[in-house]
Amino acid sequence: MNGTPAVHLRGTGSSLPKRVMRNEEFAAFLETSDEWITTRTGIHERRLAGPEETTVSLGLEASRRALEAAGLKAGDLDLILFATVTPVSQVPSNACRIQAGLGCRLIPAFDLNAACTGFLYGLAVADGMIRAGNHQHVLLIGAETLSRVVNFSDRGSSVVFGDGAGAAILSASTGEGTGVRRVRLYADGRLGDLIQLGGPGGQPAWTGPGTPQPAAPAKITMNGREVFRFAVQRVHQMVQEALTDCGLAAPDVALVIPHQANQRILDAAFADLGFLPENVMSNIDRYGNTSAASVPIALDEAFCTRRVKSGDTVLLLAFGGGMTWGSAVVTL
């Protein structure tokens, strides 16, 4: 292929658990109600993974659907990227498990963690690898089973999160005027305590037989008020920055697909940015916050419901723990 290839979004897929948990069910063990949750988050229900459903099994089904939509087979893939904060295992990586599950040839596969911005971080990696000429077809997955790390006694956070997976195929292309036009990523580790989820590296060191006792399972903690303030500010900045960088105005963007964290965040952030409500994707009412899976699930739904079509320009936005944030402009 002559010159630097364009990076085309060739196909998407998603997978959601069968179990639906509605707001009313929280009232059985928390001091809350459907009205309280809906007013503060915009969420009516979310999906919870069952005993046989895992981060990998959901990611595998989303991957198969993305391959089908792209008209490709597992053997066509050159790289697999898996974004998650709820891996089935640290080793092997979830990406390697997907490689085995799909029956791929011997290609590189690895996980990455940027919390809710994970899919956009993965998009930047895929974009760079394809443009460098190293890979032709990349599978990018965002998948989570957050219900397994939620503290269900915490009213502020337990009602927010859900489970699911989304996937996309990114391919080298010679097409002019289409593909990934721009990706920009950020992080500020000084704000890391706003959203936290512990891991094995933070547990006490082993000092001998019988010690230490196994640590309690890690659970998500979140400063909701400060996260809200952070998110509204960053989304507003990212939108203005992306439009300026690409020489676009709000009417040039067919659909904005933001991370589905909280409907109030989206309402506040987009209040004065010039986008009509129907041009800002929202499915948080049905799925809640699915972290790294949020953007690819919404992207796949936008394709399936024909809210976007070939030639449309979409703006992807995300923010999450770290704190991390990022945006991408893609012409389909």
Q: Which of 96, 116, 135, 262 is catalytic?
A: 116
DSSP characters for 136-188? SEEEEEEEEEGGGS--TT-HHHHTTB-EEEEEEEEEEE--TT-EEEEEEEEE-
Is 259 among the residues known to form the active site? yes
> For 179, left (φ over 0), alpha (ψ -120 to 50), or beta?
left
Is 135 among the residues known to form the active site? no
> Of 3.40.47.10, 3.40.50.1820, 2.30.300.10, 3.40.50.720, which CATH number belongs to 180-198+216-331?
3.40.47.10
Is 104 among the residues known to form the active site? no
What residues does each domain of the chain span? 6-177, 180-198+216-331
Q: What does pTM read for this prediction?
A: 0.95
pLDDT tens-digit map of 49-97: 999 999 999 999 999 999 999 999 999 999 999 999 999 999 999 999 9
pLDDT tens-digit map of 110-163: 999 999 999 999 999 999 999 999 899 999 999 999 999 999 999 888 999 999
- Based on the number of CB atoms within 10 Å of its own CB, is 51 exposed (0-12), middle (13-18) or buried (19 or more)? exposed
Q: Which of 8, 135, 137, 259 is catalytic?
A: 259
> Of 3.60.20.10, 3.20.20.70, 3.40.47.10, 3.40.720.10, which CATH number belongs to 6-177?
3.40.47.10
Domains 6-177 and 180-198+216-331 share a fold: yes
Average pLDDT over residues 4-32: 94
